[in-house]
Amino acid sequence: MLLKVSGINPLICLGIESTADNLGVGIASSDGMILANEVKVHVPDLGGIHPREAARHHSENIGSVITAALTKAQITAKDIDFVSFAQGPGLGPCLRTGATGARALASYLKVPLVGVNHCISHIEVGRLATGAKDPLTLYVSGGNTIVSGFESGRYRVFGETLDIAIGNCLDTFARLAGLEYPGGPAIEKFAAQGSKLIPLPYAVKGMDMSFSGLLTAVSNEFRSGKHCIPDLCFSLQETGYAMLGEVTERALAHTRKPELLLTGGVGANKRLRSVIREIAEEQGAKPYYVPISLATDNGAMIAWTGILAYTHGIRTPIETSYVDPRWRLDEVEIPWR
């Protein structure tokens, strides 16, 4: 790892995450330490995320979350060597709020700005936290469902959802069925009491998946009144996680990666973890689970990826620091691997 030219102090990066409903500010150092990881979550009053309301939440809280992160890291703003932010993918209004905060802070401190890809940040902090070196990664959250691995200079996508993310599928069904928000943990709890497998559409197309048909079908089964909540939750989990498992296993067999990394909020699920463990055993790979505070959306992952990017020459001039809500991880050249 590169050190400050003038001495032995590591470089320090403050990273801002604001792609969806979490506002995160993390502080990382170039010797691989996470010094702070403060998160403030916007909880919608009703229904799913409303991008503009989440953005307002982020702009109202960004100052206090930055202060909390500095306090936690026991540093002052003057100690920050550069500022990173999630430049995409995500919800436009939320991304723009974080980017505005990052630009303002970098300009005020007269330090460089580094825009990083949110999905790559999940993988990089996962590698840092678990020690996995070259994993195939399953990233499953409210907005993303991606199987990826590093190959010839980039993170390549081996499989992904063609429509909604698995977490979105879980959350939307939970809301319909009147379960607690967020839906994933509530569904996991009920699924443990279920036993009957209700036939639901299993949609793997090549290496890609579709969860919208699964959501429609399980919603219709709920409305039919023929099944109890535990059986619906059990069937939803079994079907959805089997789809994730099939694509992940095929990608692992094809790439022969020695490690399998599970990250994103849905990665907290015990049933999915057991599916991942079985696949890893079967394919002779080592399974890794990212600790939950670093697996859900957080600022530390943005700060750490900022360190990797900055120390390998990447800078984002303010003039070109516009956000990209559809920025795919396989568009990014990775100079640090």
Answer yes or no whether residue 126 interacts with ligand ATP by CB under 6 A. no
Q: Is the dihedral angle over the CA atoms 40, 45, 51, 55 positive or is it negative?
A: negative
Smallest gap from Cβ 141 to Fe ion, in A, equals 5
For residues 315 and 173, give the distance between their C-alpha atoms in angstroms, rounded to a whole number: 42
Q: What is the dihedral of CA 64, 68, 70, 74, to 10 degrees?
A: 150
Smallest gap from Cβ 155 to ligand ATP, in A, equals 15
For residues 34 and 300, give the distance between their C-alpha atoms in angstroms, rounded to a whole number: 6
Could you tell me the CA-to-CA distances from 206 to 241, 267, 299 in Å, in that order?
Answer: 16, 23, 34
Smallest gap from Cβ 269 to ligand ATP, in A, equals 3
Contacts with ligand ATP, 152-181, as mask; x by CB under 6 A: ---------------x--xx----------
Which residues have CB under 8 Å from 62's CB, separation 6+?
16, 18, 23, 25, 97, 98, 101
Give me the residues that bind Fe ion (CB under 5 A), please. 141, 297
Binding residue (CB under 6 A) for ligand ATP from 24, 26, 182, 240: 182
Could you tell me the CA-to-CA distances from 315 to 12, 31, 305 in Å, in that order?
Answer: 15, 20, 12
Nearest Cα neighbor of 100 from 143, 138, 46, 63 is 63
Smallest gap from Cβ 35 to Fe ion, in A, equals 21
Binding residue (CB under 6 A) for ligand ATP from 141, 148, 161, 283: 141
Q: If you write DSSP's letter for every residue of 102-120 in order, what string do you get?
A: HHHHHHHHT--EEEEEHHH
Smallest gap from Cβ 296 to ligand ATP, in A, equals 3
Binding residue (CB under 6 A) for ligand ATP from 11, 262, 266, 307: 266
Answer yes or no whether residue 296 interacts with ligand ATP by CB under 6 A. yes
- Sole window of 105-113, 259-267, 273-281, 328-336 interacting with ligand ATP (rule: CB under 6 A): 259-267
Answer yes or no whether residue 269 interacts with ligand ATP by CB under 6 A. yes
Which among ligand ATP, Fe ion, none contacts residue 22 (Cβ within 5 to 8 A by kind)? ligand ATP
Binding residue (CB under 6 A) for ligand ATP from 112, 115, 184, 194: 184
Binding residue (CB under 6 A) for ligand ATP from 36, 120, 217, 268: 268
The encoded tokens of residue 42 equal: 């916007």
Count of residues touching ligand ATP (by CB under 6 A): 23
For residues 275 and 255, give the distance between their C-alpha atoms in angstroms, rounded to a whole number: 19
Smallest gap from Cβ 16 to ligand ATP, in A, equals 14
Binding residue (CB under 6 A) for ligand ATP from 188, 208, 221, 249: 188
Subset of 199-258 contacting ligand ATP (CB under 6 A): none
- The helix/strand/coil state of 256 is coil
Closest residue by beta carbon to Fe ion: 297
Q: Residues 25, 304: contact at Cβ < 8 Å?
A: no
Answer yes or no whether residue 183 interacts with ligand ATP by CB under 6 A. yes
- In total, the chain counts a number of residues equal to 337
For residues 239 and 204, give the distance between their C-alpha atoms in angstroms, rounded to a whole number: 11
| Interface contacts to ligand ATP, rule CB under 6 A | 19-22, 141-144, 167, 170-171, 182-185, 188, 264-266, 268-269, 296-297
